[in-house]
């Protein structure tokens, strides 16, 4: 039997319907940052499969459709990014197509990303924001508008 080693990552997922799910993602061991954390960013943006397995808090399994996610809240914090960037963070309020909104901070990592529009218009579908110090991955396909705060 062939198995691909996976790392279990606890998350809270909000679907485009507004439904919120607490549970676990399974990320392959090759998607780990230099600091040893699972790279949820890479999992969301670079894995080509639209459906991925998710274990709910009740132990049930389901396949989730990646394009139907509004955002994913992880337990990762912003300590690593704060030490890596010299650029000023941007405070935002993000409005989603399902009527929800979320405020937080984005940290530009490149000089070419000093404007919020540069970050939103980048090549990745999921962008990273920090809400209450926790890392949140926003699906820009469900973002209606963004306001600087």
pLDDT for 109: 73
Nearest to 135 by CA among 78, 50, 53: 78
DSSP letter for each residue of 39-92: -HHHHHHH---SEEEEEETTS-EEEEEGGGEEEEEEEEESHHHHHH--SPPEEE
Per-residue pLDDT reduced to its tens digit, 59-116: 999 999 999 999 999 998 887 777 777 778 889 999 999 999 999 999 877 777 778 8
SS3 label, residue 111:
helix
Check pLDDT > 90 for residue 46.
no
- Kindly state the average pLDDT of the residues 5-32: 92
The dihedral built from the CA positions of residue 110, 25, 18 and 125, taken in this order, carries a sign that is: positive
- Find the range with the poorest average confidence among 46-55, 113-122, 133-142: 113-122
Question: In terms of pLDDT, which residue wins out, 37 or 114?
Answer: 37
Tokens 């962008």, residue located: 127
Q: How many CB atoms lie within 10 A of CB 122?
A: 14
Q: How many CB atoms lie within 10 A of CB 45?
A: 17
Domains and CATH numbers, the chain: 6-75 (2.30.30.100), 76-148 (2.30.30)
Q: How confident is the model at residue 56 (pLDDT cuts 50, 70, 90)?
A: very high
pLDDT for 126: 95
């Amino acid at each position: 039997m062939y198995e691909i080693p996976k790392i279990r990552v606890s998350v809270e997922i909000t679907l485009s319907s507004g439904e919120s799910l607490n549970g676990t993602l399974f990320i392959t061991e090759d998607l780990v940052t230099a600091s040893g954390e699972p790279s949820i960013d890479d999992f969301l943006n670079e894995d080509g499969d639209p459906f991925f397995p998710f274990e709910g808090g009740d132990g049930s399994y389901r396949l989730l459709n990646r394009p139907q996610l509004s955002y994913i809240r992880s337990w990762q914090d912003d300590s690593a990014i704060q030490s890596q960037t010299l650029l000023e963070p941007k405070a935002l309020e993000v409005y989603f197509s399902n009527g929800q909104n979320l405020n937080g901070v984005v940290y530009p990592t490149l000089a070419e990303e000093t404007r919020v529009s540069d970050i939103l218009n980048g090549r990745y579908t999921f962008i990273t924001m920090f809400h209450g110090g926790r890392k949140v991955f926003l699906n820009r396909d469900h973002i209606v508008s963004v306001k600087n705060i």
